[in-house]
Homo-oligomer: A and B are copies of this chain.
Amino acid sequence: MLPRHARIVARLLERLPGVGERTAARYVLHLLAAEPALSLALAKALEELHERVRPCERCGNLAEVEPGAPASPLLCEVCADSRRDPTLLCVVARVQDLSAIERSGAMRGRYFVLGKLVSPLEGVGPDDLPLDLLKQRIVDEGIREVIVATPPSVDGEATALLLSRELATTGAAVSRIASGVPHGSDLEFADQVTLGRAIAGRR
């Protein structure tokens, strides 16, 4: 049985995905056996996490808040990268999916993070998605092609269908990543080759 304060730390670590009671206790014992500097560095870094890392105001990706720099608009690395194709936009559900696609190196354009998928079961309808923002951006930036990279799940496909209809008025071509991605899997854990092929084989 861990001392009370160690249990408090363990209970908080259990809120991380996939961390159970045993794993949390293991983490705490490891931290206690290590130099205090590790726990203190982690404490300091976590304290600043939400201040220093915020959503990109253009695409919803994570962006670093530079202490000295003028704050508006806050742009992520991808949006700030002028070598990106400004006419190509990839729509993803989550930041994790954006990171996975970036790792594949197959996307030359920029992104738009939806934040959620339409889901009748969870009561998420088309009105809950930032469709107006997306359309506005496509028009404002003269986007010529939108690649819909929502996951190959029921909700992901429903969202892709919704987008292909909704974005028809913008004049941009709407494509869908190919089903090289195994059905029902999570984009975050797809390997780079699979993701690269899915993007190259879009239709």
Contacts and interface: CB of A to CB of B under 8 A. Distances in A.
A105 to B, nearest CB: 11
Interface in A47-71: 47-50, 52-53, 62-64
Contacts of A96: 26, 29
**Chain A interface size, under 10 / 10 to 19 / 20 to 34 / 35 or more:** 35 or more
A155 B70 CA distance: 59
Given A32-B53, A47-B40, A17 B26 contact: yes
Nearest to A103: B1
Residue among A9, A26, A96, A99 facing the most chain B CB atoms (10 A cut-off): A9
Contact of A46 (B16, B29, B46, B77): B46
A46 B15 contact: no
Interface string A1-20: 11111101100110111100
A77 B3 contact: yes
A152 to B, nearest CB: 20
6 closest residue pairs by CB, A with B: A3-B64, A5-B52, A43-B46, A36-B50, A43-B47, A43-B43
Given A3-B76, A6-B64, A9-B42, 7 more contacts: A2-B53, A3-B63, A4-B64, A5-B53, A12-B41, A32-B49, A32-B50
